[in-house]
Amino acid sequence: MMGKLKKIDIDVEDLVYTDAVKDKVSKEVYTEIQNLKGKFDTMISNEQELNKLKTQSRDVQGKSDDFRIKYKNLTEIEKLKADLLGVLNENAALEQ
């Protein structure tokens, strides 16, 4: 389908360009077609970027949810802090 669309696009552009060389109105039509193509390409790029950002947002949300599940109510983090403090105190006692 993409191949057919590209062929039609090329055929239309060739036809309009050939007439654009001869006729002022055809030249304006050709210019507008080129403007529309540029805007369409921009629209496609923007949509692709939007989809990329949505995917990244879903990934971050998933990681955030995983983090919340793993460290529910921060009790695990507090436990790790307490363990670290205990190790630091043991090291200090051993150094003395």
- Write the DSSP assignment of 32-92 as a string of letters: HHHHHHHHHHHHHHHHHHHHHHHHHHHHHHHHHHHHHHHTGGGHHHHHHHHHHHHHHHHHH
- Confidence band (pLDDT; 50, 70, 90) for 89? very high
pLDDT digits (tens, 9 = 90+) for 5-54: 788 888 887 877 777 777 788 778 888 888 988 998 899 999 999 999 99
Q: Are 16 and 33 in contact (CB under 8 A)?
A: yes
Total domains present in the chain:
1
Q: How far is CA 73 from the centre of its chain?
A: 32
- Identity of residue 45: S
d(CA 89, CA 96): 11
CA separation (Å) from 55 to 36, 52, 65, 68? 28, 5, 15, 20
Residue 72 has pLDDT above 90, yes or no: no
Q: State which residues form the domain around 84.
A: 2-95
Residue 74 has pLDDT above 80, yes or no: no
Structure tokens at 56: 């990244």
